[in-house]
Structure 1
Amino acid sequence: MFYRPEDGHGLPHNPFNAIVTPRPIGWISTRGTDGSENLAPYSFFNAIAYTPPQVMFSSTSAKEDRGDTKDSVANIRETGIFCVNIVEFAMRDAMNLTSGPWPKEEDEFTKAGITREDCQTIACSRVAAAPANLECRLTDIVTLKGENNFLVLGEVTGIHMRDDCLKDGIFDVLAFNPLTRMGYQDYSVVREKFSLARPTG
């Protein structure tokens, strides 16, 4: 099968969402200038540079009470900070609950019963029990082609790692089984890993 996106695919659901898979999930926590906090998952997320460490996520829809975007991007526009919380399999239900289209006044930490702690380098909360947290300062928000599409870029200014995830000097993802996003309403979990030596030449 071949299709041009502008012509449509004729399938019950958009296959593009399932083709680029699995995708890591950035559980983004933000705080507005009024002190309100937000926590929401984004599967258009990844690490993009080592030195300095940098990450990205993109938001692709809007809420009526936030104009052209959603709570996360709106808060980041105001404050220039955000925290990426890594999602483990055990947190799947809490993560899913925070994905709802809740009013901007709704605190997802409280709604989902998630314990929070203060970040160290930015004025924002983080998911206390997450395997890792990446505290970030905004470097740029890029307006992408299409409606309500924004790419958020940030530099990592502080990193938290849960002690039980450090084994023999490495951050061991099998200690917490990362949750990943697939297509449609599907997710996957990482339970196996293997190593490949990079070629030299």
Structure 2
Amino acid sequence: MFYRPEDGHGLPHNPFNAIVTPRPIGWISTRGRDGSDNLAPYSFFNAVAYVPPQVMFASTSAKPDRDGTKDSVANIRETGVFCVNIVEYAMRDAMNQTSGPWPRETDEFGVAGLEKLDCETIACSRVAGTPAALECKLTQILQLPGETNFVVFGEVTGVHMRDDCLVDGQLDVTRFQPLTRLGYRDYARITDVFSLARPGEK
């Protein structure tokens, strides 16, 4: 089939998310100006640069109590920092709990029964026990076409890695099985890894 998005697809559910898969999940923790913590997963997330290291995530909907966006973007606008917690398969249920449409005053760490740890380079909490976490300082927020589409870019100022995930000096993803987002209600975990050398590499 072929369809133009502006005309609709005629299917029971939008296939776009199922086409662009798998997508890493950025479990974004933020703190508001009032000191309240927030935690929410975003599957429009990725690394975008090496030097300096930078990441992005996109928020594409809004809450009635957040003036055209969601808690994460609102908090980052106020404080200029956020932390990306990497989601492993073992934390799938906790991650899912934090995806709910909770009121702005809700602390999702508590909702999901998660322990908090302080970040080292920014004033923000991170999820204890995650395979890795990236402390970030905001560089820019871009508004994309559409009323609630915002992309947040941040420079990584601190990196946490769980010791048991390091093997021979490398982060071994099979040790924690990263959770990835597919379409609809579907997810996947990474269990099999293979290597390819680029042309010209030794």
- TM, length-normalised to structure 2: 0.99
Report the 3-state secondary structure (helix = DSSP H, G, I; strand = E; otherwise coil) of the residue aligned with 2:48.
strand
In the alignment, residue 12 of structure 2 is paired with which amino acid?
P
Structure 2: unaligned runs, 5 residues or longer: none
Residue-by-residue CA offset, 1:68-106 (whole Å, 9 max, x unaligned):
100000000000000000000000000000000000100
Q: RMSD across aligned C-alpha pairs, in angstroms?
A: 0.7
Give the aligned partner of residue 129 of structure 2: 129
Give the aligned partner of residue 138 of structure 1: 138
How many residues align? The count is: 201
Structure 1: unaligned runs, 5 residues or longer: none
Identical residues among aligned pairs (%): 76
In the alignment, residue 165 of structure 1 is paired with which amino acid?
C
Q: Does 1:19 align with 2:19?
A: yes
CA distance in 2, matches of 1:147, 1:195: 41
CA distance in 1, matches of 2:30, 2:136: 10
**After the TM superposition, which residues 61-80 of structure 1 pair with which residues of structure 2 at under 5 Å, given as runs?**
61-80=61-80
CA distance in 2, matches of 1:113, 1:129: 12
- TM, length-normalised to structure 1: 0.99
Residue-by-residue CA offset, 1:118-177 (whole Å, 9 max, x unaligned):
000000000011000000000000000012000000000000000000001100100000
Give the aligned partner of residue 48 of structure 2: 48
Runs of 4+ in 1 over 6 A off after TM superposition: none
Give the aligned partner of residue 119 of structure 1: 119
Residue-by-residue CA offset, 1:16-67 (whole Å, 9 max, x unaligned):
0100000000000000010000000000000000110000000000000101
* Aligned-residue offset at 1:200: 1.6
